[in-house]
Amino acid sequence: MGIFEIIMDTLVFIFATNPFSPWIRGVLGGLVIGAVFGGALVMVYLERKFLGDMQSRIGPNRVGGRFGVLQLIADAIKLFTKEDIIPVKADKWLFIGAPIVALTSGFLMVAVIPFDYLYINGNYYAVAVSRMDISILYLEAVSGLAIFATFMAGWGSSSKYAVLAAFRNVAKMIGYEVPLGITIISVAVMAHSLDIVEIVEAQSNLIYEGSNLWYIIAQPLGFIVFFIALLADVGRIPFDQTEAEEELVAGWATEYSGMRWGLAFFAEYLHAVVGSFIVTLLFLGGWNGLPIVGNLFIPGIFWVIGKTIMVMMLFIWIRAALPRYRIDQVIDIGWKVLIPLALLNLVWATIIGLTLA
């Protein structure tokens, strides 16, 4: 009974076996969700600095030392102190409810993301707020709530710009949910399960036991389709028509000001962060480190966070490098290019899955 076993026994006692465990797990779940929110703040900071680097300019560098780390706090304070304007003709409950729905969608998505899979005292425990058998299906369903949020915002604002932008956004998101769903199904087919934890574990047993290969090697087309559909679903360049300042001012959030706008903006970055997590878990091996070599004695949670930051930087890199599509070209790509490719990937995944099973 070394120190490690004692610590593990204590942890298991706190979280699993004593009568207050559900409450303790609940508090921990809240902390985890808070941590992921912190992750979204990290993404905003990364975006400003990393994007600035690629555009040969310095991002924030005044607040909080040379690297401007407290800039986001300063922005949040500024947003809190702004006047809360609700347009006279706006539908008040839709207008107020839209950022709330967007954030709720974010909360619900974070609830099933597993960060690690620990083997303690003979049992496997997933480090997640809640572990479900159908977690990837649940995630896909909840991310559709974001569509409601944009439409509520656009319609509730009762302004022509916002309504037009909301129409465009809904059309785009509906179109891209389909390839997203089909790709998820192809991953689930290969892993024989809808549970994210089991999908990651299946990746580690891909061709032979303990191989630690990633699904990006087995389904490269799936990765590409998923990545592009995710860019469109989240609404980042090259698919961010709805925020195209030049076309429809600020899209569905035109009439929002102050902290309401802050929440809407934050919900979008949260969606992007959660998307990055999903890419990491589904295609990049999650907490199982590098292919073939494995963990290299670094705990799995650091691998997950590290890979997610890499994917976030890829999002930002694409934003710096590409222009924006026109809305009809976006919908063309979604229906005419990505769905056939996703179906092709599904066929491939089924064949490969059967061969390797």
Residues that bind other proteins (CB under 8 A): 54-57, 160-161, 164, 237-238, 240-241, 244-247, 249, 319-329
Comparing CB distances to other proteins, the nearer of 165 and 184 is 165
Rounded Cα–Cα distance for residues 88 and 181 (Å): 40
Nearer to other proteins, 58 or 120 (CB): 58
Name which of 2 and 323 has its Cβ closer to other proteins: 323
State the nearest-atom distance from the C-beta of 122 to other proteins, in Å. Answer: 54
Residue nearer to other proteins on the CB measure, 138 or 227:
227
Q: How near is the Cβ of 250 to other proteins at its closest, in Å?
A: 8
In the complex with other proteins, the residue whose CB is nearer, 92 or 326, is 326
Minimum gap (Å) between residue 53 Cβ and other proteins: 11
Q: How far is the CB of 190 from other proteins (least distance, A)?
A: 31
Q: Shortest distance, CB of residue 251 to other proteins, whole angstroms? A: 12
Give least dist CB 264 to other proteins, A: 18
Nearer residue to other proteins within complex by CB, 309 or 318: 318
